[in-house]
Chain A
Amino acid sequence: MATSLENPDELDERERRALETLLKRLADDEFVLAERYTEWQVRAPTLESDLALANNAQDELGHARLWYDVLGDIGFEERELVYERDPADFRHSTLVERPFEDGDWADAVLRSYLYDAAEEIRLESLVDSTHPKIADRVGKIRSEEAYHLEHAQNWLERLADGDEGHERLQDALDRLFPYAFTLFEPVDPDVEEDIVDLGLRDATLEEMGEEWLSIVVPYLESLDLELPADGRVGDGTDEFEFEVTEEMLPEERGRDGTHTDAWFDLYDEFTRTYRELGRTETTRIMDKPE
């Protein structure tokens, strides 16, 4: 079974659906996050931070392209994956679609941290994927994501040190944390199970979510940031004890096709030229697929 995943023609429907779902989760997250990051170009606090965030945006966009390109192997074209796709079919977590308030750099670096910490765990679970192309591409992506995480943490630590920065980080955390949980929500529980059973990814969403909490909760607490009180379980002796309950999740989870209004506005903006010029095709997903 594992070897058959290599050849798109030999995929049965279950395998195909699992592969498509996994790749859309990966690609859509990166694409939409990049789209939001580019809003900081020419608007970041300093020329240096402008250059750094632009770099991260292009990295994420490049990763999105690597994943969309694998979807290309099972017959998808860029226009169906991005420019002509029903916006309600995008599978990204709602964390990445939330708009930035003007000047809210605390949101940008915190969001980056929450995402990149999850991304590291997710990539680790793909290193031994039964799909060779996925396993191959993880290496390149991981080295870049490690830098993003470091970048986010450097900024978090600087901002958390100042009064205004700390206050803004707390605000951003209160707003973003529920959306961040959706990173580990299923597109469809049965398909998610298939993804693991087929060895496309070797950890379940629950396992990854728990690992993520065990990393971000103590880190954010070390910055004197307060986490939602209703997530704390146990007698309080173990400071890493934190659980996400159904009530803590936002209504819009992204993975299941529910999105916040901000996403539909964003989609309208990035498809505007394509629609107005009456385009029916884009350039190829990648010029030289590796």
Chain B
Amino acid sequence: MDLDTVKDRAGPREFSPADDLPEEYRKAATRMIEFHANSEIMGAYLERPFIRQAPSIDRKLACSAKVQDEIGHGQLLYRAAESLGVKTREEMLDDLANGDGKFLNCFHYEMTDWVETPMIAFFVDGAAMRRQATLRRTSWEPYAHAMDKVCFEEGFHVKHGEDILRELMSGSKKEQELTQAAFEEWWPRIIQFFGPTDDKSTHHDFAASVGLKQQSNDQLRNAFLDQYIPKARSYGLEIPDEPRIRELDDGTYEVEEGDLDWDEFFTIAKNDYEPGVGQINGRKAAQEAVQWVRDTIESDATAAGGHAPQAAD
């Protein structure tokens, strides 16, 4: 299939592994899904310590289940990416470990305190939900299919995050103040989640023209702000003065781009931001420590002349 045909036919769940797709499409789709899968893994990495630090058994269970879900999403997404025939899961995981794999800006920051958990579980996951909901109509069918399950589970994560936020904001004065401080720190990052404005976005045009991406950065950011500014306020959070956000007559929002730190954003995008580098390397070290187990499984599989056995997994 040539690129023009792809563009003509581009529509929800239009293409599957049965189609003979041009390299440009397969590469763009791989980049997009790999980014998504890596983000699931690095998000899980960031949230893992809070399984331990959760202040009740109930929350501990929910945190453990959430981290598990994210790993499950990663597994699902790597499979959807692998089916494009560009990269194997091992290659993608290796790239993530050696610092070549890209992932969401928010997961390059450190998270040290419990009051930060709803910043990820409510706001970042809420933002992700908006994007993912549109991706159920992406043109690569395995990706859209993965999104069905991911969206279903993310819904629970956002409720979990919202419940923690509600608890913190109806707790002691100290809890409310710490939560507000965490919100102020995370708010600009959350807005940057949607990337630069459309006129500065490099990959959007092609991804949109072949039906991989369904909505632009601006549309998604607008929809998010429209929904989450009132929610934040309803829990008693104050929206920081910066970045300045103007509500326009048509009900959409305009963010003052100059108020956001784009140097930091693009440093992050290159995997050069210090805390993020630490997190990439931390995950890499943990994975290297169990390399011996993977080697053992692989030699097992070689001896058996087939795939690594899954039964014990």
Contact = CB atoms under 8 A, between A and B. Distances in A.
A248 to B, nearest CB: 30
Contacts of B200: none
Contact of A54 (B55, B67, B78): B67
B290 A269 contact: no
Given A164-B292, A282-B57, A285-B57, A57 B64 contact: yes
A62 interface: yes
Q: What class of interface size applies to chain B in its complex with A?
A: 35 or more
A55 B64 CA distance: 9
A82 interface: yes
Given A43-B290, A158-B300, A51 B75 contact: yes
B54 A273 contact: yes
A47 interface: yes
Nearest to B178: A277
Interface stretch (B120-128, B134-142, B228-236, B305-313): B305-313
Interface stretch (A14-22, A34-42, A134-142, A221-229): A34-42
B299 A162 contact: yes
B134 to A, nearest CB: 26
B313 A58 contact: no
A48 B57 contact: no
Interface stretch (B44-52, B80-88, B209-217): B44-52
A42 B64 contact: no
A287 interface: yes
A47 B45 contact: no
Given A42-B48, A164-B296, A277 B312 contact: no
B297 A158 contact: yes
Contact of B175 (A46, A164, A277): A277
Interface in A226-244: none
B60 interface: yes
B291 to A, nearest CB: 8
A57 B65 CA distance: 9
A154 B297 CA distance: 12
A161 interface: yes
A54 B296 contact: no
A97 interface: no
Given A102-B286, A273-B54, A277-B174, A158 B296 contact: yes
B160 to A, nearest CB: 12
B55 A61 contact: no
Contacts of B294: 45-46
A170 to B, nearest CB: 14
Interface string A264-290: 000001101110111100111101000
B68 A58 contact: yes
Nearest to A162: B296
Interface residues of A, number: 55
A283 B312 contact: no
B114 interface: yes
A43 B286 contact: yes
Interface string B68-83: 1001101100100000
Contacts of B292: 103, 164-165, 168
A159 to B, nearest CB: 6
A277 B61 contact: no
B22 interface: no
B33 to A, nearest CB: 15
Contacts of B313: 46, 48-49, 51-52
A78 interface: yes
A61 B41 contact: no
B171 interface: yes
Contact of B296 (A31, A165, A273): A165
B53 interface: yes
A277 B172 contact: yes
Given A46-B294, A47-B74, A103 B289 contact: yes
* Most chain B CB inside 10 Å of its own CB: which residue of A47, A54, A165: A47
Contacts of A165: 292-293, 296
B172 A42 contact: no
B58 interface: yes
Given A64-B57, A283-B58, A42 B45 contact: yes
B289 A161 contact: no
A48 B300 contact: no
Contact of B44 (A42, A168, A273, A287): A42
Contacts of A51: 68, 71-72, 75, 313
Interface string A144-161: 000000010011001101
B111 to A, nearest CB: 13
A271 to B, nearest CB: 8
A111 B48 CA distance: 22
A116 interface: no
A270 B71 contact: no
B55 A282 contact: yes
Contacts of B310: 48
B283 interface: yes
Contacts of A279: 55, 171
12 contacts: A42-B41, A44-B290, A46-B297, A48-B313, A50-B68, A102-B285, A154-B312, A159-B296, A161-B296, A269-B53, A276-B113, A282-B55
Given A58-B64, A277-B171, 20 more contacts: A42-B45, A42-B48, A45-B290, A45-B293, A46-B297, A46-B313, A48-B313, A51-B313, A58-B65, A61-B61, A102-B286, A105-B293, A162-B300, A164-B295, A165-B292, A277-B115, A282-B55, A282-B56, A283-B59, A287-B58
Return the 5 tightest CB-CB contacts between A and B, nearest first.
Answer: A103-B289, A154-B312, A48-B313, A282-B56, A45-B293
